[in-house]
Amino acid sequence: MSYLKSNGEAIGIPLLIIGCVTLFVAFILTLMGAEVLYLIGLVLALFSVGLGLIAVGMADKSDKRQLELLERLDKNVERLPLMLKDDVLTPSGQLIAKEIVSEQSKMAVQKRLDKDTKRVGYVRGEIYQVKDGSWAIGWGGKYPL
């Protein structure tokens, strides 16, 4: 079931397309005078299963995204008393805010690098921290472009 949840859209879309093609074939056969009641049943089954799997896949993606957002919220709420005092950002709060921004920058850059690696099939760069605390990708170097 876990496989269907994570790959629901990838399985459902081809089923939906096959259902459309089958519907077209049934329409052509009907114009020729053939009995196609069984094809109509097959079309309805393909549409139902395809749309169901697409819905399951989208729901799984939504659940993962919501869980990620809630985890980030929980993590940051724990830091809130250290950051604020009477609605003023404390010195330790400023350090924590810089750390959070740096961490988010690093995650975004790592995600970009992972996406590029997946696209080309091999690593073409590495992440490094810039003097201002943000993160960037160093392309090339010891990695071929």
pLDDT tens, residue by residue, 111-123: 998 998 888 888 8
Give the tokens for residue 50.
């395809």
Nearest by Cα to 66 from 54, 55, 74, 77: 74
| Residue 68 to residue 59: CA distance in whole angstroms | 14
Considering 39, 59, 81, which residue would you say is the last residue of a domain? 81
Q: Which of 52, 81, 110 is the last residue of a domain?
A: 81
pLDDT of residue 144: 65
pTM of the model: 0.53
At residue 104, the pLDDT reads 81
Residue carrying structure tokens 């959070």: 100
What value does the mean pLDDT take over residues 121-141?
84
- Could you give the number of structural domains in the chain? 2
Kindly tell me if the per-residue pLDDT of 133 is higher than 70: yes
Domain boundary among 53, 81, 109: 81
**What is the arithmetic mean of pLDDT over 15-40?**
90
Same structural domain for residues 112 and 145?
yes
Residue-level pLDDT at 83: 65
Helix axes 91-120, 37-83, angle to 10 degrees: 150
Domain assignment of residue 145, given as a range:
90-145
